[in-house]
Amino acid sequence: MERADPVAGPDEAVVAVMAASVNPSDVKNIAGRMEGTVLPRIPGRDFAGIVVDGPADWLDAEVWGTGGDIEFTRDGSHAELLVVPAAALVRKPERLGFAEASVVGVTFMTGWLGAVETARLTPGETIAVFGVAGGAGTRIAGRRHPRPCRPAEQHVSPIRRFTMTRSAVDAEALRSTAEAIRTSPVRGRFTFRVDGDWGGGFRLTSRVGALTHGGDTDTARSGRFVMNSDEPTQVLGTDMAVSPTEWVLQALAGCYTVTIAANAALRGISLRAVHLDLEGDVDLSGFLGLDPAARPGIGHIRVAVTLDAPDATAAELENLIEAVQQRSVVRDTLVRPVAVTTTLRRA
């Protein structure tokens, strides 16, 4: 598709793209599987090129870059010309050609954020690398990694959904929070918000709204996280996002994780891993009005919780799961009647 050549606005620069890489996220993005993307959108996050418009001191400079809002809220690098914030310009190392420079960004940043920023890897530590043949795995395990480490495992292994591998909940902070709420019950009251817009078919894009805590509203959270939903093709959706029913299961799994981690910390139970398997049964006869006896909603949810806590007794873990069933916010929402008020607003 031909489009007019972009012009640099204030604090912007236009880069003539000489090379750009293709990442899995680029494909997912144009398919609508990445949160926060405004479609239609030209994909592409990594690039290397020459500045052709913008600040005078950057004209004709060879630059490279990645990430930010590129391909999400502004068009990406899979085009001849790319508009980027002038503050994001970085000169390309002379020793790298355009093609070499264009394949570094996403994979290196993923490896760095995972190994250094999140795991806080230190020199000499041993790290297990899953999917070492991929771009990020190669960056982590490669000899030129900025913090050399010993890869313990170099093979592809599936990562199971809803898995938590460490317990880092501050038990004292939990107790202090409980005491503060006991002293002032209003501090335990929250109002969560979500707003959403129809995307055609069965698709919806939602965003988190302001959070009210103890009567004070925090608007800084508005729009920070985006959620997309669709339906599987078996129920006439386009299968471009998580289904609403799966979001319910995810909400329950997330709340179980919070409740397990919090109660384990308070009880002095050390968790090495938590895994949850969830299933939910739906009969569309109720949704379609074909069977008055069939409920439209989920009829039965089954949750299997696997705990890796070698120092805990069977009785301690049974009591932990019993506490989870009694205190999980989302489980309580599902098993007890909740007032749901729906109002009509004319656009």
10-residue mean pLDDT profile of the chain (347 residues): values are: 81 91 81 74 88 92 83 82 88 86 78 73 68 62 46 36 51 90 93 94 93 91 89 91 94 96 92 93 92 92 95 95 96 95 95
Instruction: Sort 269 into a burial class: Cβ within 10 Å, 0-12 / 13-18 / 19+.
Output: buried
Predicted TM-score (pTM) of this structure? 0.55
pLDDT at 123: 65
301 contacts 331 by C-beta, under 8 angstroms: no
pLDDT at 131: 63
User: What is the DSSP-derived secondary structure letter of residue 242?
Assistant: B
- Beta strands 226-229; 204-208: pairing state: antiparallel
| Nearest of 279, 266, 97 to residue 167 by alpha carbon | 266
Question: Taking each helix axis from N to C terminus, what angle separates 244-267 and 171-183, rounded to the nearest 10 degrees?
Answer: 100
3-state helix, strand, coil in the chain (%, to 5): 30, 25, 45
Residue 251's alpha-carbon distances to 197, 246, 256, 311, 328, in angstroms, are: 20, 8, 9, 29, 11
The contacts of residue 153 (CB under 8 Å, 6+ apart) are 128, 129, 130, 132
Q: Which residue has the tokens 């750009």?
A: 20
Point out which residues pair with 207 in neighbouring strands.
195, 226
Residue 74's alpha-carbon distances to 44, 49, 65, 151, in angstroms, are: 10, 17, 14, 37
Q: Which segments within the chain are labelled E, that is strand?
A: 12-19, 47-53, 62-65, 81-85, 126-130, 150-155, 163-164, 190-191, 194-198, 204-208, 211-213, 216-218, 226-229, 273-282, 298-308
pLDDT at 162: 40
C-alpha dihedral, 135 to 141 to 142 to 147, nearest 10°:
120
pLDDT at 146: 42
Instruction: Sort 52 into a burial class: Cβ within 10 Å, 0-12 / 13-18 / 19+.
Output: middle
Point out which residues pair with 304 in neighbouring strands.
277
Q: What does the alpha-carbon distance between residue 221 and residue 289 come to, in Å, rounded to a whole number? A: 39
102 contacts 35 by C-beta, under 8 angstroms: no
User: What is the DSSP-derived secondary structure letter of residue 113?
Assistant: I
Q: What does the alpha-carbon distance between residue 195 and residue 208 come to, in Å, rounded to a whole number? A: 7
Report which residue type is found at 57: D
